[in-house]
A = this chain, B = another copy of it.
């Protein structure tokens, strides 16, 4: 992919790869019929922004190429300059999972990058926090009303006395009871909750509020409970404990326990840490046709730099890599890693089939308005954010990442589910690229939001951290924006608040529970 858009003026259309036979319209308002967009090519009809123009005449059944990939076949004859709309594109079958290339494509990265640091909170287990937060894990949704009150009281009554603590976070969810807790798929939500409670931003402190009678007993979540105090000790408040006589007693129990954790958290200070301590979760949401040519390739470049600096970087979204699986298995560092990618996507195929759908259930109305005709095209633009590093490992849903390097974290593409699973994987920094715009944020991990186009970046000036749209207009290169992103990541990891943090915007956790509700 070209690092800089060619031509002296801002381009009107962008072709991603020289072998492509379509290009997308850049102009915010689209382009009318009759517009000359390239040598000898005039638009046959109006084409909206982000949507595709045929660069050669296409006969019915001809392959339509974008990202040097067949994203479908022409449903009808389309002239050069014609609008390759969703209705005119027939989606291909998903690639089969047997006979994929296994670790066949060497991915030479540049030389290691040293001396890149940020100011973080070192944890006893070797991980590093980018924030210093008290987290309150809940075993079951029943307690969430009480925990919400307690969090509010902690914020108002305790936090002012512990100025080095950045905040308190209640880890609410709708799991924990009324669920088939011994189902084959139940380990996914259970280990997700377990690992979320161990996120590096919680400083190794584990505080839990349980009801008492629920299926997800605290022992089930954490193993035999060690008393609080030493390493791995847990501060547990059980609301049904006979000592909790009435609501105020419950709140007091929680506040007392919180205070002991806060005392320890408050003694922590930021120190210089190598960039290798970063665990970056990447995802995209509300994607459009620019995602794959501005924000995601720039993020891919930043990802490569991070990997060269020894960091752990995750990309995800099963349905958004499914059609590009051959790229992933080829880029896997070893055949075993390639086989683990295949196994995760095979499991996910079967999970979707159980609900009588397939990967085409992805793509949203907003994706389509933004020019993405189908999941194949969306996937090609999504995968680009993984850059060019070898894939060094696979993270099953709910598991903790074992870096360093570029990892495939096998999660659904749902923004909130993917973010929750990346948090469980140990992410201490989140980068989220968006085409249509989203106010998404997390209470426990800073989220840097990157717009694919300048228009939403300008409009949502206080919600979007980075405008990658300047790549489409030729004002900056992919590499320039990638380096800018990396610099911002290091600042945010060191404490600079993101837009979402300044506004205190955050989404609830959304556990991935493929097992039944009972």
Does A157 belong to the interface (CB within 8 Å)?
no
Question: In residues 176-195 of chain A, which contact B (Cβ within 8 Å)?
Answer: 177-185
CA distance in complex: A177, B415 (Å): 8
Does A162 belong to the interface (CB within 8 Å)?
no
CA distance in complex: A248, B463 (Å): 10
Contacts of A156 in B (CB 8 A): none
Contacts of A500 in B (CB 8 A): 145
A247→B462 contact, CB < 8 A: yes
Contacts of A245 in B (CB 8 A): 459-461
Does A438 belong to the interface (CB within 8 Å)?
yes
Chain A, interface SS category: loop
Does A143 belong to the interface (CB within 8 Å)?
yes
CA distance in complex: A211, B366 (Å): 10
**Segment of A107-115, A422-430, A466-474, A507-515 engaged in the interface with chain B:** A507-515
Contacts known (A181-B361, A362-B518); A213 close to B142, Cβ less than 8 A = no
**Segment of A55-63, A79-87, A347-355 engaged in the interface with chain B:** A347-355
Does A440 belong to the interface (CB within 8 Å)?
yes
Contact with A356, one of B184, B361, B508 (Cβ below 8 angstroms): B184
Question: In residues 239-260 of chain A, which contact B (Cβ within 8 Å)?
Answer: 239-240, 242, 244-248, 250
Contact with A141, one of B145, B211, B362, B416 (Cβ below 8 angstroms): B416
Question: In residues 155-212 of chain A, which contact B (Cβ within 8 Å)?
Answer: 172, 174, 177-185, 211-212
Does A365 belong to the interface (CB within 8 Å)?
yes
Does A495 belong to the interface (CB within 8 Å)?
no
Q: How far apart are A502's CB and chain B's nearest CB, in angstroms?
A: 9
Does A274 belong to the interface (CB within 8 Å)?
no
Question: In residues 347-375 of chain A, which contact B (Cβ within 8 Å)?
Answer: 351-352, 354-357, 359, 361-362, 364-367, 369-370
Interface string of A480-505 (1 = CB under 8 A from B): 00000000000000000000100111
A144→B507 contact, CB < 8 A: yes
In the complex this chain forms, how many copies of it are found?
Answer: 2
Contacts of A365 in B (CB 8 A): 213-215, 217
Contacts known (A212-B436, A285-B142); A354 close to B357, Cβ less than 8 A = no
B518→A414 contact, CB < 8 A: yes
Does A439 belong to the interface (CB within 8 Å)?
yes
Residue of B whose beta carbon sits closest to that of A361: B180
Q: How far apart are A377's CB and chain B's nearest CB, in angstroms?
A: 16
B367→A183 contact, CB < 8 A: no
Does A286 belong to the interface (CB within 8 Å)?
yes
Does A90 belong to the interface (CB within 8 Å)?
no
Contacts known (A145-B507, A240-B436, A439-B145); A213 close to B366, Cβ less than 8 A = yes
* Extra contacts besides A182-B357, A213-B436 (15): CB < 8 Å: A145-B441, A145-B505, A145-B506, A174-B174, A178-B413, A179-B414, A180-B361, A184-B356, A211-B286, A213-B435, A214-B364, A246-B463, A319-B518, A354-B354, A414-B517
| 10 pairs from A and B in contact (CB 8 Å cutoff) | A174-B174, A179-B361, A179-B414, A182-B357, A213-B286, A246-B459, A319-B518, A354-B354, A414-B517, A414-B518
